[in-house]
Structure 1
Amino acid sequence: MQASSSLYELRRASHAGSWYTANPAELDKELTSYLSSASQFPLPEGAKLKGLIGPHAGFSYSGPTAAWAYINIPPSHYKRVFLLGPSHHAYLSTCALTKSQYYQTPLGNIEIDREVTEQLHAGGGFQYMSQKVDEQEHSLEMHAPFIRKAFGEGVKLVPIMVGNLNAKSEQEYGERLAPYLADDQNIFIVSSDFCHWGSNFDYYHKEQGLEVHQSVEKLDRQGMQLIEDTNPEGFEEYLQKTDNTICGRHPIAVFLNAVRSYSLATFGSKVSDKIKTKFVKYAQSNKAMKKTDSSVSYASSITYFQ
């Protein structure tokens, strides 16, 4: 997937007009409505928001859930957003970076932090993706309008497409990113939907005595609890045991390992009480009842340092 050495100016908003509206006024109104309907989490005094997990489906499905994470962002506090998302179309066994200089959104372009992107590439383990691969992927793009809306035009973006990593690689990438997590001017956003259930996804986990949608929620919340516990090993075991179709499993695990690495370096403990992750919203595209139904789950979390 190695791209050519030359930069290109714009990563086009290739899903605008289909997954979300391409009309700037309508998009701004839609995002404003989602954010207005969400509630802020009562962060402790002095706490610093350092990370979000949010979904990446079409905005009519996932936008209201994503807003529950984005409503907590104080934009003036950050200069740089690290955006981690999975690859749905291109097979990738490492992590890939953009060669673009700007991410296009209908609300205005977001500048790519070329200096940090090139630092990551120079350190090894990160490759560049082609423009075609970059623009095919929706997991990163679906967060770009929210980022432009929440942060305005002053923030820079570091998009990272996370491939099909093993647990060792997830830990290594987390350790690589931990120093950036420690910088108060940086925030991490992880793109992931949760359970994809039913005939559309060939996944049919169901517990006896529960409706399908209840079983799906119980399954998702087991994984969400492990994320809140900053437990990447437990999260990996849970995924192996349940096969839950969490598409952003690898970006989530990289982020968990980054948090753990930061905690160990800063507080001398892999899981410090100075670091908290809380899920603030959970929803499903529809309440599946039978095997012929399909649904996708959406969840949003925040991670903050005290």
Structure 2
Amino acid sequence: MRMEARRLDQAIRPAAAAGHFYPSEPGLLRTMVDNLLNGARAASVTGGPPPKALIVPHAGYIYSGLIAASAYVRLETAFPLVRRVVLLGPAHRVGFYGIAAPEADCFETPLGYVAVDEASVEQACTLPTVFRYENAHAPEHSLEVQLPFLQRVIGDDFSLVPLVVGSAQATDVARVLSLLWGGPETLIVVSSDLSHHLDYHSAREVDERTSAAIESFNEEAIAPGLACGRLPIQGLLQIARQKGLRARRLDLRSSGDTAGPRERVVGYGAFEFS
């Protein structure tokens, strides 16, 4: 939704991570995202059909931005088909059981506003584990940090189905995705980092195993602690397997690769499903 097109009576979920995870100044943010996309484009995996679903990391852009960009450049083959993005990420700050849908009409970033697909949210809320809970969205960065990439790659004219996953079952996520799967106009994005606070070499070993589990649709091998978005990933793997999709790794690194040597690192992976 273009900034000037927003109605004055709309409820806005304001940007909470701007100035922390990514620049708050629109020009700086636009330049940073474009540079990340250009860097990823030069080394991108090519060929194959456009992705139906992506797994992307959600740390600060200086840490995981290039890994996330390796997934988003793959959307250039899908543009301009994508008009709805179903975006799921884990809850970091608010504890609850189930899957939280927003009450807001649009999400704000420094690049403008993204309209919430109200009809799809209403549809998702017909499931017993999905409910409106704005408190889960207000401080949550895992969804927000994906929006500037989407705005730069597929433009302003898409709607968003933002869902924060709390303590739930992977089958709950799979049910939501099945309900909202749609056709080529719908993109699924799961926001998740991988291992946390391991030494560099241990993180590489652990993340390699997690990556292999994702690529082989072995969701049971993704144990708690191996990915902060474990439940959204597992739910995606369940439905993607049912739909006959193939998984492909696009990038796998850690903050030790992107931000220099450090005692403990966080792992990041990017994957596409088509």
**Alignment deviations for residues 128-168 of structure 1 (CA, whole Å, 9 cap, x no partner):** 112x4312111111111111111111110000101122xxx
Residue 79 of structure 1 corresponds to 83
| Superposed displacement of residue 183, structure 1 | 1.9
**Alignment partners' CA distance in 2, 1:52 and 1:128:** 24
Q: Which residue of the partner structure matches residue 252 of structure 1?
A: 233
Q: Which residue of the partner structure matches residue 227 of structure 1?
A: 214
8 Å Cα contact 1:181/1:259 also seen in 2: no
Distance (whole Å) between structure 2 residues aligned to residue 91 and residue 179 of structure 1: 25
Q: Shift of residue 223 of structure 1?
A: 1.0
Question: TM-score, normalised to structure 1's length?
Answer: 0.80
Residue 25 of structure 2: aligned partner: 23
Give yes or no for contact 2:88–2:143 (8 Å, CA) kept in 1: yes
User: What residue in structure 2 maps to residue 206 of structure 1?
Assistant: none
Is the Cα contact below 8 Å between 1:11 and 1:104 reproduced in 2? yes
Equivalent in the alignment of 1:149: 152
1:302 counterpart = 2:267: no
Report the 3-state secondary structure (helix = DSSP H, G, I; strand = E; otherwise coil) of the residue aligned with 1:42.
coil
1:163 to 166, 174, 198: 166
What is the one-letter code of the residue matched to 2:56?
Answer: G
* Letter matched to residue 276 of structure 1: R
Shift of 1:182: 4.5
Corresponding residue for 2:128? 124
Deviations 1:243-281 (A, max 9, x none): 5441111111111122133x2xxxxxxxx4xx2111111
CA positional deviation for 1:181: 2.3
Q: Return the alpha-carbon distance in structure 1 between the equivalents of residues 127 and 254 of structure 2.
A: 40
Q: CA deviation at 1:172?
A: 3.7
Match of 2:253 in 1: 283
For 2:103 and 2:225, locate their aligned partners in 1 and report how far apart those are by CA, in whole Å. Answer: 33
Give CA deviations for 1:77-118 in whole Å, capped at 9, x if unaligned.
111000010001111221110111111011111110000001
Gaps of at least 5 residues in structure 2 are 1-8
**Structure 1 gap segments, 5+ residues each:** 1-6, 199-211, 264-271
Q: The residue matched to 1:77 in structure 2 has which SS?
A: coil
Quick check: 1:75–1:152 contact (8 Å CA) kept in 2? no
Secondary structure of the residue that 1:100 maps to in structure 2? coil
Shift of 1:20: 1.1
CA distance in 2, matches of 1:124, 1:75: 34
Q: Is the 8 A contact 2:200 2:264 kept in 1?
A: no
Is the 8 Å Cα contact of residues 178 and 259 (structure 1) preserved in structure 2? no
1:1-306 matched pairs, under 5 angstroms: 9-39=11-41, 40-44=44-48, 47-73=49-75, 74-130=78-134, 132-165=135-168, 169-198=169-198, 212-235=199-222, 239=223, 243-261=224-242, 263=243, 272=244, 275-286=245-256, 293-304=263-274
Alignment partner of 2:181: what SS?
A: helix
CA distance in 2, matches of 1:147, 1:141: 10
1 CA distance for matches of 2:128 and 2:83? Answer: 24
Distance 2:240 2:45 in 1: 20
> Which secondary structure does the structure 1 equivalent of 2:111 belong to?
coil
Aligned partners of 2:139 and 2:22: how far apart in 1?
15
Contact 2:178 2:239 in 1 (8 A): yes
Between structure 1 and structure 2, the one with the greater Rg is 1
Q: Give the percent of matched residue pairs that are identical in Structure 1 and Structure 2.
A: 28
Bigger mean CA deviation after superposition, 51-60 or 132-141: 132-141
Q: Quote the Cα distance in structure 2 between the aligned partners of 1:109 and 1:82.
A: 16
When the two structures are aligned, how many residues end up with a matched partner? 258
Across the aligned residues of Structure 1 and Structure 2, the Cα RMSD in angstroms comes to: 1.8
| Aligned partners of 1:53 and 1:192 also within 8 Å | yes
